[in-house]
């Protein structure tokens, strides 16, 4: 691997390995575990298994692989049970390790399975989408969705290692790449103004020579936030800042049944809504909102709902968000481009108006 970055969490610290081709490093990690007599199992999704069959074999050889359907609907109780049964079938014990080779759905699901199977086994992240590389594979948040809302069941369970290889993105569909860009834009908005300016000057693509460096910058910012507030307990700011745009976005996903918008697409609309809420609160101006919309659009991301959704259902979904405290929602708002803060006590009328600005009725 060309370089590593350590997430410093005392005895739960782990490396993030960066490079073009992660197969040799993953294979070495697997071989090391097997040499110690530890069982290894792999969870992936059908899209990756088809598009990167050779890479999958190069990384894991003949280790048992469970292939699940792609899509947010897989983050369910049913598929969680399938992963548990898979681990039990292959007699993975407490010394075993589960590798999650896929996007955010696979990482969240497999991570939660690892956190709960035998009350916790080791797991490793091999993110295969841009979104999972820059966001969900780092930080130890795992979980599944319920009908009532997104990620309402889960656990903090840090991986033992993360392997990020940009070559795995070569077969990623353009829509999925764009979805990952929503999280990169979010990162720039919440804590890296220079990154946002870079994206505003020239859209990032899978062929951009700076892609690897941008992925590392996002991981580094997230690692520092996680180190300071691993379990999202800070009263203000902290890890909650990483949810910029997500309070609106998760509501969109829940109301549409997780199948209409990719997570990054819903987050993009959420960023547009959060920008408008920040403007209504007097923090940023109309020109800033327009710049955010322009950067999102330049990366093939939506800034409005494709079809109108009922405002009442969106607000009800938002009220079930994980960030609700004492019955009150907390929003992440922009003090400026590159500087975010948590805000409680926001008038619901302003949140409703911000949803209406992006197409709710």
Do 106 and 7 share a domain, yes or no?
A: yes
Give the residue carrying structure tokens 């990020």: 164
CA distance 191 to 338: 5
Predicted confidence band of residue 1 (pLDDT cuts 50, 70, 90)? very low
Q: Which of 210, 231, 236, 306 is catalytic?
A: 236
- Return the bridge partners of 164, or none: 18
Do 243 and 352 share a domain, yes or no?
A: yes
CATH number at residue 331: 1.20.1090.10
CATH number at residue 73: 3.40.50.1970
Q: Which of 75, 186, 217, 263 is catalytic?
A: 263
Do 163 and 183 share a domain, yes or no?
A: no
Dihedral angle at the C-alpha atoms of 55, 56, 58, 62, nearest 10 degrees? -160
pLDDT at residue 244 greater than cutoff 90:
yes
The β-bridge relationship of strands 141-146 and 149-156 is antiparallel
> In 10 A of CB 110, how many CB atoms?
31
pLDDT at residue 296 greater than cutoff 50:
yes
Identify whether 276 is a catalytic site residue.
no
pLDDT at 328: 74
pLDDT at 325: 66
CA distance 189 to 185: 6
CA distance 40 to 63: 7
Which is nearest to 89 in space by CA: 68, 117, 55?
117
Do 311 and 197 share a domain, yes or no?
A: yes
Q: Using the 8-state DSSP alphabet, how is residue 284 labeled?
A: S
pLDDT at 82: 98
Do 126 and 193 share a domain, yes or no?
A: no
Identify whether 231 is a catalytic site residue.
no
Identify whether 239 is a catalytic site residue.
yes
Phi, psi (deg, nearest 5) at residue 129:
-120, 160
Do 82 and 160 share a domain, yes or no?
A: yes
| Cα 238 to the center of its chain, rounded Å | 17
Predicted confidence band of residue 344 (pLDDT cuts 50, 70, 90)? confident
Residue-range definition of the domain harbouring residue 344: 174-357
Mean pLDDT of the chain: 95
Domain boundary among 127, 147, 171: 171
pLDDT at residue 332 greater than cutoff 70:
yes
Q: Which of 91, 119, 147, 201 is catalytic?
A: 119
CA distance 253 to 148: 11
- Report pLDDT digits (tens) over 19-58: 999 999 999 999 999 999 999 999 999 999 999 999 999 9
Q: Using the 8-state DSSP alphabet, how is residue 123 labeled?
A: E
CA distance 175 to 169: 12
Identify whether 183 is a catalytic site residue.
yes
Which position has the higher pLDDT, 308 or 322? 308
Identify whether 145 is a catalytic site residue.
no
- Report pLDDT digits (tens) over 74-91: 999 999 999 999 999 999
- Report pLDDT digits (tens) over 163-183: 999 999 999 999 999 999 999
H-type alpha helices, 124-281: 130-131, 174-191, 193-201, 211-228, 246-255, 263-280
pTM: 0.94
Do 140 and 201 share a domain, yes or no?
A: no
Do 183 and 162 share a domain, yes or no?
A: no
> In 10 A of CB 349, how many CB atoms?
9
Considering its fold, how many domains does the chain have in total? 2
């Amino acid at each position: 691997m060309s370089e590593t970055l350590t997430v410093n969490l005392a005895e739960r610290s782990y490396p993030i390995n960066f490079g073009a081709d992660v197969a040799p490093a993953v294979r070495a990690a697997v071989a090391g575990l097997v040499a110690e007599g530890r069982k290894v199992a792999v969870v992936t999704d059908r899209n990756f298994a088809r598009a990167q069959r050779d890479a999958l074999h190069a990384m894991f050889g003949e280790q048992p692989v469970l292939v699940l359907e792609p899509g947010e609907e897989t983050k369910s109780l049913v598929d969680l049970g399938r992963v548990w049964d898979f681990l039990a079938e292959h007699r993975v014990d407490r010394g075993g390790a589960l590798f999650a080779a896929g996007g955010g759905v696979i990482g969240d699901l497999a991570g939660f399975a690892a956190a709960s199977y035998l009350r916790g086994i080791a797991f490793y992240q091999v993110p295969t989408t841009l979104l999972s590389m820059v966001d969900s594979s780092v930080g130890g948040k795992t979980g599944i969705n319920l009908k009532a809302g997104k990620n309402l069941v889960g656990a903090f369970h840090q991986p033992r290692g993360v392997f990020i290889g940009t070559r795995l993105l070569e077969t990623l569909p353009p829509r999925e790449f764009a979805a990952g860009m929503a999280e990169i834009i979010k990162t720039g908005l919440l804590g890296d103004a220079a990154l946002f300016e870079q994206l505003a000057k020239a859209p990032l693509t899978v062929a951009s020579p700076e892609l690897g460096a941008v992925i590392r910058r996002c991981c580094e910012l997230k690692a520092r936030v996680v180190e300071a507030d691993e379990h999202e307990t800070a009263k203000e700011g902290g890890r909650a800042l990483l949810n910029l745009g997500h309070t609106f976005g998760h509501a969109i996903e829940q109301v549409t049944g997780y199948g209409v918008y990719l997570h990054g697409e819903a987050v993009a609309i959420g960023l547009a809504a959060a920008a408008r809420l920040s403007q209504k609160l007097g923090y940023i101006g109309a020109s800033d909102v327009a710049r955010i919309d322009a950067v999102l659009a330049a990366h093939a991301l939506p800034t409005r709902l494709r079809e109108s959704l009922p405002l009442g259902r969106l607000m009800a979904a938002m009220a079930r968000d994980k960030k609700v405290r004492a019955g009150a929602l907390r929003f992440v708002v922009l003090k400026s481009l590159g500087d975010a803060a948590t805000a409680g006590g926001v008038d619901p009328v302003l949140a409703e108006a911000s949803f209406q600005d992006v197409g709710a009725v």
